[in-house]
Chain A
Amino acid sequence: MSRHIWDFHGGIHPPENKKQSSETSIRWAGLPERLVVPVQQHIGAPAKPCVNVGDPVLKGQKLAEAAGFVSLPVHAPTSGTVAAIELRPIQHPSGMDALCVEITPDGQDEWIEHQGVGDYETLGKQEILNRIRDAGIAGMGGAGFPSVVKLGVKPDQKIKTLILNAVECEPYITADDRLMRERADEIVQGLQIVAWLIEPEEILIGIEDNKPHAIAAMQKATAGTQCEVVVVPTKYPSGGEKQLIHLLTGKEVRSGGIPADVGVVCHNTGTAYAIKRAIMDGEPLISRITTLTGDCVAEKGNYEVLMGTPVGWLLQQAGVKATDLHRLIMGGPMMGFAVHNMAVPVVKTTNCLLVPNSKEFPDPVPEQPCIRCGSCAQVCPVNLLPQQLYWFAKTKEFDKAAHFNLADCIECGACSYVCPSNIPLVQYYRFAKGEIRTQQQEQAKADHARQRFEARQARLAREEEEKERKRQERAKAAAAKQAEKKAAPAAKAAPASAAGAVDEADALAKLQTAAASTMKRYKEAQKALLTAEKNGSEHLEALQKKVEQLKAKADAAKEAFTTAKNAQGQTADAKPKPAAASKDDPFAALKQASAEDFAAYKEAEKALAAAEASGAEDVAALQQRVTELKARSDASKAAMKEARAREKEQIQAKNAAADPVKAAKLEVAKQQVLLKKASKALQAAKDSDAGADDALESNVKAAEQALEAAEHALKKIEEEQA
């Protein structure tokens, strides 16, 4: 049964200090007068409370529901009443309060109806997974990742090795050790449930060689099963998930990957035990084994503690004198967090409460300069260069820190432990990681904003182009009209100057529209700026600039308009009623109507966009208005086009009278257009599956014939002229 044990780089051997707590059996911590159960004791979304203040609850009753896939419910650790649901201090590095359900126990400790199953295989995997989720089981060794997420193996993934992490490499902590000594059978049963779920080829139980009793107990419990106890040499941090995987299988989990990528799933001893209790006894996770140790603790040892038990109360039970308190650490000495508030509750991940006195854990001494001795690099289990990372973190060269794989640091603290200059290296790494995270978030935000802005710019540019194109079309039309007027001076009795006046009036009208539209744009921009200011948007400056630009433009346009008007006023005095001509011109009127309608539509659209952007409520109404206006604008445009086409035809006809070749050519062109139209209609009918209409087809044929005839006529005329 000797199996090859790989080794990982680095590692340290701090004094173990486990004997103080490992030699007494697990004790019941007792029922405190109140329990404060945080709704988030796991990684993922906080659970949603499903009880109300004043509700009576039974032991094991759900207090809050899982909210999402990566989330877990929490349960009442005992029976009693819900005294409060509010923010309370919890153990979190940020020191922030979190939502907790406070329960006043009634002392009955009365269970909710619950039932375990012995032959879980009959229930099917999904049901078992659901039960594990419903029991609120999170990884109990470290971060508290919902166990069910690790257990739900994807169909395309084959798990070769299931590892039970019973290494417990942190000094002082003996919770798993004691649990294995006393409840090995239940742990193995839990492990087998896990094995049944994920069907691994091998099941390994990794235990450090400093726990001979636990090893013996586990070997006894696994006799005759396919589980294999693997003893690994004592070295911190062998219990790190990736380190243990490497020790037992020689595989490396890729940076940023998860163990399942290399066919391994790891679970903690406490978790396996909790799974057993959940499935075979029907009990949700409401208590755990916590080591109470450190020289301030009179009754060192392991306690079975209800989740939500306030730390201060618990320490009292273990005989800690409040006056002795100097330092309180939740977790082990290498990776635990300092606790500042005695009211924080024990949660699913609380494996140890360490209360050293100042002799045991002297206050940290001031840091000396890094002498680049490299001790840190020699012990880093991930094979980083901690001294370089430290350097980059200190000089805020975060990109270089990232380049030196800061992200792979597991914050095990081995480097800080050995640093002769007493540099709190891990603290620097946490700082740098936090900064990098913030930078990335800000970058993402900025990128998003930029994308939005660019999309908007592109849309505006498109619209502008569209407008420009239309303007040019209109200008062309106007030019054609003028040409017509000039070409047929006799047709109209109006004097030549009248045409000039018409032009002038036209130009003036144009100027006016321009002035009005710039003004409008300016007003709009101003409005947008106001809303932006109110909403505290980030583009304020850009907007402000734009507003200024538009104002300048509007002013310029207005001025141009006024000068033009004045000039015209003078000419108008000289020439009576020139403007009448434009009124008499039906085409100009149509054009103006169309332009106005279009402008109204555009404006409405813009208003809509603004409203949408600022999240106004009248969006629906605006939308309707936009649609209406668009219809109107389209209609007037169509009318104008028609008028224009008619006019063109007239002109052409007139011209044709003078020139037969031209007339013939025109005829050909006209027939070509007709043919095209007809074939298009046919095609459309075909595409829309309306059934290729015979009528349409014959139309096309007729058009073809007409075109041929026209071409023929043209040839004849040309020949004649030649």
Chain B
Amino acid sequence: MALLSVTSPHIHKPGNTGGFMRQVLYATVPGLFMLTYFFGFGTLINIALAVGIALVCETLILKLRNKPVAFYLNDYSAVVTAVLLALAIPPTAPWWLTLIGTTFAIVVAKHLYGGLGMNPFNPAMVGYVLLLISFPKEMTTWLPAAGLDNTVTAPGIPDSLGMAFLGMNPDALSGATPLDAFKTYAGQPEVLDSNSILHGVFAGFGWEWVNVGFLLGGAYLLWRKIITWHIPAGMLLALFLLSGFFNTAVDADNYPGFLHHLLSGGTMLGAFFIATDPVTAATSNRGKILYGVLIGVLTYVIRTWGGYPDAVAFSVLLMNLAAPTLDYYTQPRTYGHRKPNKGLAKSD
């Protein structure tokens, strides 16, 4: 009889980090479905490619670092990073784009900082921004959404494979995203009014549904308690208030309405899947709200006055930088203390 010596607590809630991460993967399904519906199989190919590369990179690095490979692969964190990155890469992307982005994300942004839990920056977004800066053309070549003007159809599997692996030039198929379109024609109400890309059911054509898809996924994550409401609520609220204010109070021709902002580009993916990456976000509830709000503000500012049509990735990375400081200044009030601690000053 050998009695096991374990300190309390002796019971544990079922589930582990791998399960946690798998929930995130499940939650991407609606968004992924919409992306595939409107833009063909490119994103699915990206995902398959990215996951494969990520697993290879992760395995090699874990071997190099002398860590048990199976144990760490089981936390699914590499898969999540790969999927989130692949979701953000255009469906027209050639294979090497995904390769570079994923490798950089896993090797540099994650493992060179010490691996899971130690990375200060969201690895998927580091990979994304690297690609965006290095290959701006490839990274901004999107397709028009299927069904646009009743003429566009999503590329079939051969076209998607061709663009990914055979160097097929996507220019023939490509088209602007709603964010691009507004940026290009801002201040010209006639063009804006007649551009069908900007007029789906409530926002940009096609993209509105992609965002609704990710919103649904986010709701699932909230329901499963994988994330809390603080960061998405903060980010979406900030975006809503800013775009609403500039659209109604300043100038509707230069500043699109809140639905355009909330349902275009990477807003929902960013709010529920990227900004909520726990490793790199603020941790206390108050800190998370502030963190989300600031991401929303930065996103709006860069989209509106910056050089890039979308800005979620930049905003998230910038706020990653600020998260530790936010944490110091937003500690919760501990039971039995009058005031919360602020910074490193001890309050009573």
Point out residues on A near B: beta carbons under 8 Å. 8-9, 12, 14-15, 171, 242, 246, 252-257, 322-323, 325-329, 331, 333-340, 354, 356, 361, 363-366, 368-375, 377-378, 381-385, 387-388, 400, 403-405, 408, 411, 413-414, 416-422, 424, 426-427, 430
Contacts and interface: CB of A to CB of B under 8 A. Distances in A.
B155 interface: no
B146 to A, nearest CB: 37
Contact of A413 (B8, B117, B226): B8
Contacts of A334: 8-11
Contact of B333 (A323, A383, A416): A383
Contact of A426 (B7, B72, B327): B7
17 contacts: A14-B13, A171-B11, A252-B336, A322-B1, A325-B3, A326-B3, A326-B4, A338-B10, A356-B10, A364-B12, A368-B72, A369-B115, A372-B278, A372-B279, A388-B283, A403-B341, A404-B331
Contacts of B16: 365, 368, 420-422
Given A325-B1, A408-B336, A426-B9, A403 B344 contact: yes
Nearest to A365: B16
A253 B333 CA distance: 14
Nearest to A358: B4
Given A326-B4, A334-B11, A371-B77, A384 B283 contact: no
A9 B4 contact: no
Contacts of B17: 368-369, 371, 373, 420-422
A351 B346 CA distance: 38
Q: State the majority secondary structure of interface residues on B.
A: loop
Contact of B75 (A368, A404, A424, A426): A368
A424 B8 CA distance: 8
Interface residues on B, range: 35 or more
A76 B141 CA distance: 86
B334 A340 contact: no
B332 interface: yes
Contact of B327 (A9, A323, A388): A388
Interface in B71-95: 71-72, 75, 77
B6 interface: yes
A327 B117 contact: no
Pairs A-B, 4 closest by C-beta atoms: A413-B9, A369-B117, A255-B336, A373-B278
A411 to B, nearest CB: 7
Nearest to B346: A403
B118 interface: yes
A331 B216 CA distance: 44
A417 B331 CA distance: 22
A278 B341 CA distance: 46
B337 interface: yes
Q: Which of A257, A373, A375, A430 has most B Cβ within 10 Å?
A: A373
B117 A385 contact: no
Given A14-B11, A382-B336, A388-B327, 15 more contacts: A15-B11, A242-B335, A255-B336, A327-B3, A327-B4, A333-B11, A338-B3, A371-B20, A371-B117, A372-B281, A375-B225, A381-B335, A419-B12, A426-B9, A427-B7
Contact of A377 (B9, B20, B71, B284): B284
A257 B72 CA distance: 44
Given A387-B283, A388-B283, A420-B16, A364 B334 contact: no
Interface string B315-348: 0000000000001000111111100010010101
Q: Which of B15, B335, B348 has most A Cβ within 10 Å?
A: B335
A381 B336 CA distance: 11
A242 B335 CA distance: 9
Contact of A242 (B6, B72, B226, B336): B336
Nearest to B348: A255
Nearest to A322: B1
A164 to B, nearest CB: 22
B306 interface: no
Nearest to A246: B335
B19 interface: yes
Contact of A417 (B13, B19, B77, B336): B13
A384 B285 CA distance: 11
Contact of A333 (B9, B72, B278, B346): B9
Contacts of B335: 8-9, 242, 246, 252, 255, 381-383, 408
A361 B15 CA distance: 14
Interface string B268-293: 00000000001101011100100000
Contacts of B281: 372
Nearest to B12: A417
Contacts of A365: 16
Given A383-B335, A405-B341, A363 B4 contact: yes
Interface of B: 1, 3-13, 15-17, 19-20, 71-72, 75, 77, 115-118, 225-226, 228, 278-279, 281, 283-285, 288, 327, 331-337, 341, 344, 346, 348
A427 B6 CA distance: 9
Contacts of A374: 228, 278, 283, 288
A373 B225 CA distance: 10
Nearest to A378: B228
Contacts of B226: 373
Given A377-B284, A378-B228, A408-B334, A340 B7 contact: no
Contacts of B75: 368-369, 371
Q: Which of B4, B118, B226 has most A Cβ within 10 Å?
A: B4
Contact of B10 (A255, A329, A340, A421): A329
Nearest to A381: B335
Contacts of A171: 11
Nearest to A240: B335
A99 B6 CA distance: 25
Contacts of B12: 364, 416-417, 419, 422
Contacts of A328: 3
B4 A338 contact: yes
B334 A255 contact: yes
Nearest to B334: A405
Contacts of B1: 322-323, 325
B117 A372 contact: yes
Contacts of B7: 337-338, 424, 426-427, 430
Contacts of B72: 368
Contact of B283 (A255, A385, A405): A385
Nearest to B327: A388
Nearest to A17: B11
A211 to B, nearest CB: 20
B332 A385 contact: yes
Nearest to B4: A327
Contact of A339 (B3, B115, B117): B3
Contacts of B118: 369
B137 to A, nearest CB: 35
A14 B13 CA distance: 7
Contacts of A411: 8
A333 B117 CA distance: 29
Given A339-B3, A363-B4, A382-B335, A404 B10 contact: no
A339 B4 CA distance: 9
A370 B278 CA distance: 10
B27 to A, nearest CB: 14
Nearest to A422: B16
A364 B6 contact: yes
Given A372-B117, A420-B16, A338 B5 contact: yes
A336 B9 CA distance: 7
Given A255-B336, A327-B4, A385 B10 contact: no
A687 B262 CA distance: 93
A365 B6 CA distance: 11
Contacts of B284: 377, 385
A372 B13 contact: no
Contacts of B225: 375, 378
A464 B71 CA distance: 71
A368 B116 CA distance: 9
A338 B4 CA distance: 7
A173 to B, nearest CB: 13
